[in-house]
Amino acid sequence: MEIEDVRSDLTEVLYTADQIEERIRQIAAEIDHDYAGLDLLLIGVLNGAVMTMADLSRALRSHCEMQWMAISSYGSGTASSGVVRILKDLNIDITDRHVLLVEDIIDTGLTLSYLVQNLKNRHPASVEVMAAFRKAEAIKRPVDVRYVGFDIPSDFVVGYGLDYDGRYRNLNGLGILAPAVYS
Ligand code: PRP
């Protein structure tokens, strides 16, 4: 889905598909450099990180393994509940692995804070985080994020994996959802 298809639902277009693709490519090059010679394991957080994972992994010039976790933090509304629950866990042992957690967005940081600690408890060689978007002002629990695509305002954003009530995930850019759509 293109920005033009839902332009009237958005108050602002933050990033186009081309801008996101370019930034993801830059980050992939950094990751290729930083993990040269290491066996990289990408862990994506469903559902939102599907687009980020697909684009990041394909932009890498080196091998990586991909795994997925599903976490519940939001309901169907627009605010973080702070409740974190594992809905789908990894099906491999990550002991001594170099883990890069792949997220679409860091909003309050609650999900990330929980996940990073949960993964560290499994004794990997390293755990780092890549997030396509970060709401810098909204982070309640600062977690070290090694790779950030874009720092964005605290508005309700949709697209590139981010949904409102299940919709807009397949929008190829990122935009601010008009309050009229969710109020
Ligand atoms: C979103 C996003 C992160 C989390 C970030 O997931 O993918 O995992 O919220 O929010 P936080 O920093 O406030 O914890 P969500 O729970 O909406 O599920 P989804 O990926 O399936 O949409």
Whole-number pLDDT of residue 77: 52
Query: pLDDT digit string (tens) for 74-112?
Result: 554 555 555 688 999 999 999 999 999 999 999 988 888
Closest CA to 152 of 53, 12, 27, 46: 12
Q: What is the pLDDT of residue 79?
A: 54
Q: What is the pLDDT of residue 167?
A: 97
Q: Is the CB of 55 under 6 A from ligand 1?
A: no
Shortest-distance atom of ligand 1 to CA 162? 22
Residue 155 annotated as catalytic:
no
Per-residue buried b or exposed e for 52-70, using 16+ beta carbons within 10 Å of the residue's own CB: bbebbbebbeeebeebbbe
Q: State which of 72, 84, 111, 129 you would mutate to test the pocket of ligand 1, scoring each by most atoms of that ligand within 8 A of its C-beta.
A: 111
Q: Which tens digit of pLDDT belongs to each residue from 110-136?
A: 888 889 999 999 999 999 999 999 997
What is the mean pLDDT of the segment spanning 144-157?
95
Q: pLDDT grade, residue 165 (50/70/90)? A: very high
Residue nearest to atom 20 of ligand 1 (CA): 48
Average of per-residue pLDDT across 165-177:
97
Vertex 45: Cα angle to 41 and 50 (nearest 5): 90
Helix then strand count (H, E) for the chain reads: 4, 9
Please check the confidence at residue 139 and state whether its pLDDT lies above 80: no
* Per-residue pLDDT at 169 exceeds 60: yes
Catalytic residue among 9, 55, 104, 107: 107
Contact 164, 183 (CB under 8 A): no
Report pLDDT digits (tens) over 23-66: 999 999 999 999 999 999 999 999 999 999 999 999 999 999 99
Q: What does the pLDDT read at residue 183?
A: 87
> What is the DSSP secondary structure assignment for residue 165, as one 8-state letter?
T
- Closest residue to atom 7 of ligand 1, CA basis: 48
Tracing tokens 């982070």 back to the chain, one arrives at 139
Residue identified by tokens 């889905």 is 1
Q: Which atom of ligand 1 is nearest to the CA of 48?
A: 20
1-25 average pLDDT score: 98
